[in-house]
């Protein structure tokens, strides 16, 4: 899938805001605020349930990595997530 297409579909889900559970949270991490080398995808099935996390790592910027963005989109779709939250910015590791 095209990187632009994946990114736009993820952004569209994020803009909807809280719609209920299941919920996916995307957190980007990197050594600088300009390049995210990893993303942690958190999954919460229902309110009060523990968060399940999966970490995806990239050599370059994870936000521009077609494979990672497509994988995130597939995780969202397979989990049938009603809510997708993206933590703004890149956290320094």
Domain ranges of the chain: 3-92
The answer to whether 31 and 92 have CB atoms below 8 angstroms apart is yes
pLDDT at site 2: 80
59 Cβ contact list (under 8 Å, min separation 6):
37
Q: What is the mean pLDDT of residues 17-44?
A: 97
pLDDT at site 86: 97
Nearest to 7 by CA among 53, 66, 77, 85: 66
79 Cβ contact list (under 8 Å, min separation 6):
22, 24, 43
**pLDDT score of 5 more than 80:** yes
38 Cβ contact list (under 8 Å, min separation 6):
28, 29, 30, 55, 56, 57, 58, 62, 93
Q: What is the mean pLDDT of residues 6-32?
A: 96
| Segment 35-87, tens digit of pLDDT | 999 999 999 999 999 999 999 999 999 999 999 999 999 999 999 999 999 99
């Amino acid at each position: 899938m095209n990187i632009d297409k994946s990114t736009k579909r993820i952004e569209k889900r994020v803009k909807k805001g809280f719609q209920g559970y299941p919920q996916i949270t995307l957190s980007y991490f990197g050594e600088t605020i300009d390049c995210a080398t990893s993303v942690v995808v958190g999954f919460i099935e229902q309110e009060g349930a523990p968060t399940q996390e999966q970490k995806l790592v990239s050599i370059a910027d994870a936000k521009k990595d077609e494979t990672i963005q497509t994988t995130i989109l597939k995780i969202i779709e397979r989990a049938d997530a009603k809510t997708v939250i993206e933590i703004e910015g890149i956290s320094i590791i």
